[in-house]
Structure 1
Amino acid sequence: MSTTDRMKADMATAYDRIAEEYDHSGVEYYEPLARVLVARARLRAGDRVLDLGCGTGNVLFPAARAVAPGGTVVGIDLSRNMIARAEAAVSQQGLHDVTLAVMDGEAPEYPPASFDAVLSNVSVTLFPGAPAALRRYRDLLRPGGRLVFTAPVFDGDGFPSVLPSALKDTLRRMISLLHEVGFPKPYMDSGLWFGDAPSLRHALRSAGFDEVDVVEEPLTMAMESGEMWLRWLWVHAAMRLFWDRLDPRHQEELAAAIAEELDALRDVDGVIRYDVTARSVVAFPA
């Protein structure tokens, strides 16, 4: 099995394990980004939409509302348990315009010109072969179609803004431990193609997109405790894979340090808050 295939298998297994807790961390990040994503996609009634790495459906459902009546939304994900949870939600809501499939988001098995919009809420930035897959997404689009996705923003030290600066010393300790436990290097390098806006635009134009609009999206993270933030961190498959490789002593040390540092960010109302920045990207094929 290739390194890329092993990474995908590991990620699918990790998301299968965390599917039940995925929507219950108590920290909102993907939900507001999903609303930004759907708004920027400018979906219309009758549109056919593909959601890459759909998870439990934070994009599926607002997209389905946006394309009604007459439109359809197709969600794909490598995790069977994530798809099962999304299917249960589709059934509960009585939706008939949403279909789901267990499928590799880097190689969607649909004919060319099948969709008016291909969407991804951060997930495409986690795919190990995403730069090569961008051309496949372009081919899936009908005339006038667009690829729309969200992506994290990194600071000058290489940390994603979703991780507060107050944690930097602890995060450096975590990175050191990543190397010590032999965390595969491709996991750590997978974000290089979108690490800054010029790199992101270059990757998309190389894949055949000639109109690329990148917008900085300010968000505020809010949580009641450092423990809540850790639960949110653990529903990210790569971080869960890393955490599970640590011995219990290191897990306990890191958890205590993170909780203490986040507690210092409490507002007068007792809620921990900090500002983050993400990117939303809309790209049209040449």
Structure 2
Amino acid sequence: MLSQAEKDNFKQQLAAFFNGRTNYDKESDFHPRLANRLLEIFQLHNGQKILDVATGTGLVAIPAAKIVAPEGKVIGVDISTGMLSQAQQKIDAEGLQNIELIEADADKLNFSNNSFDAILCSSAIVWFTDIPGVLRLWHRFLKKGGVVVFSTFSDTSFTTYALIKKIAQKYGIFISDVKEPLGSPAKCHKMLQEAGFVDIEVKIEQFGAYLNRSHVAQAWKENWKTPGGNPVLQMELQKLKQFEAEYMAEVEVLATDQGIWNDITTFFVLARK
């Protein structure tokens, strides 16, 4: 359990991390694919009022606003001013009038009870420091019969990061994994039930792909850039080099003619108030 000071520090790092991703939409097609699939799974309709939490650059909010227009409205909230700035530029370019963006901490949202027909969150719930509390808030904000829809990842997802966690334990280092609270369908069901939701459904889909060796080497560097830091970086240089050698050796064990499989088992979770 993180202290309040640790949570606040993490959130500052999280905002800074996403503020620095100035080319987010073009980094890869991964997040757009997740956003599009979420909207395919739960089909919105005209007139609905939607809350999009961790809206980022508006990958969900903007198409949602077009669907619910002209009577409906979308409110997008995010902790990152940089993400919201990118979203606003796209909204202005589209000339959309039914989206409102708010800079806010997902743990501390303050909307009226029974305000929304649906609450959406694409691939970002894993970053929240109080997921049970957030789900309780969402339950309160939804109208009776309203739906929450979010995507998250399995405990086994992101193979390279899982390897780093595994090897770190040999050195007495235990890396917290933001996927853990919702890392299985059973965990998703349990947490949503405890928040008061019913009619819970978890759709399991695979977004993984094969990586080549250059991608795997790059993953070694990229894994240190995530918010919250990584205690492995505090190791002595010699031990860190040994750690990297073990990581690459483990990767070789997983290698096939197609490359190294990077599992991204994704859960699309729907539940009703």
* TM-score, structure 1 normalization: 0.77
Look up the match of 1:136: 137
Look up the match of 2:113: 112
Aligned positions of 1:71-86 closer than 5 A:
71-86=72-87
Look up the match of 1:172: 166
Q: How many residues align?
A: 266
Q: Which has the higher contact order (CA 8 A, sep 6+)?
A: 1
* Per-residue Cα deviation, 1:136-171 (whole angstroms, up to 9, x for no partner): 1011111221110001012xxxxx32326xx76455
1:189 CA drift (Å)? 5.3
Q: Is 2:215 the partner of 1:226?
A: yes
Q: Say what the alpha-carbon RMSD is for the aligned residues.
A: 3.5
Answer whether contact 2:125 2:131 (CA < 8 A) is retained. Answer: yes
1:128 CA drift (Å)? 1.0
Which stretch shows the higher mean deviation, 243-252 or 76-85?
243-252
In structure 2, how many angstroms separate the alpha carbons of the residues matched to 1:251 and 1:76? 41
Answer whether contact 1:230 1:255 (CA < 8 A) is retained. Answer: no
Answer whether contact 1:45 1:71 (CA < 8 A) is retained. Answer: yes
1:195 counterpart letter in structure 2: G
In structure 2, how many angstroms separate the alpha carbons of the residues matched to 1:252 and 1:279? 35
Identity %: 25
Look up the match of 2:22: 20
In structure 2, how many angstroms separate the alpha carbons of the residues matched to 1:255 and 1:55? 36
In structure 2, how many angstroms separate the alpha carbons of the residues matched to 1:13 and 1:120? 20
* Per-residue Cα deviation, 1:193-223 (whole angstroms, up to 9, x for no partner): 3122122111111111021111101224367
Tell me: CA distance 1:264–1:77, structure 2 relative to 1, closer, same or farther (3 Å).
same
1:252 CA drift (Å)? 11
Look up the match of 1:162: 158
Tell me: CA distance 1:39–1:169, structure 2 relative to 1, closer, same or farther (3 Å).
closer
Look up the match of 2:199: 211
Unaligned runs of 5+ in 1: 155-159
Aligned to 1:201, which of 183, 189, 192? 189
Aligned positions of 1:81-92 closer than 5 A:
81-92=82-93
Look up the match of 1:147: 148
In structure 1, how many angstroms separate the alpha carbons of the residues matched to 2:100 and 2:144? 23
1:104 CA drift (Å)? 0.9
Answer whether contact 1:25 1:231 (CA < 8 A) is retained. Answer: no
1:76 CA drift (Å)? 0.7
Unaligned runs of 5+ in 2: none
Tell me: CA distance 1:168–1:131, structure 2 relative to 1, closer, same or farther (3 Å).
closer
In structure 1, how many angstroms separate the alpha carbons of the residues matched to 2:84 and 2:105? 12
Look up the match of 1:192: 180
Look up the match of 1:6: 9
1:12 CA drift (Å)? 1.4
1:217 counterpart letter in structure 2: E
Tell me: CA distance 1:89–1:170, structure 2 relative to 1, closer, same or farther (3 Å).
same
In structure 1, how many angstroms separate the alpha carbons of the residues matched to 2:61 and 2:89? 13
In structure 2, how many angstroms separate the alpha carbons of the residues matched to 1:6 and 1:129? 14
Aligned to 2:268, which of 270, 275, 280? 280
Answer whether contact 1:223 1:229 (CA < 8 A) is retained. Answer: no
Q: Secondary structure at the match of 2:34?
A: helix
Answer whether contact 1:35 1:59 (CA < 8 A) is retained. Answer: yes
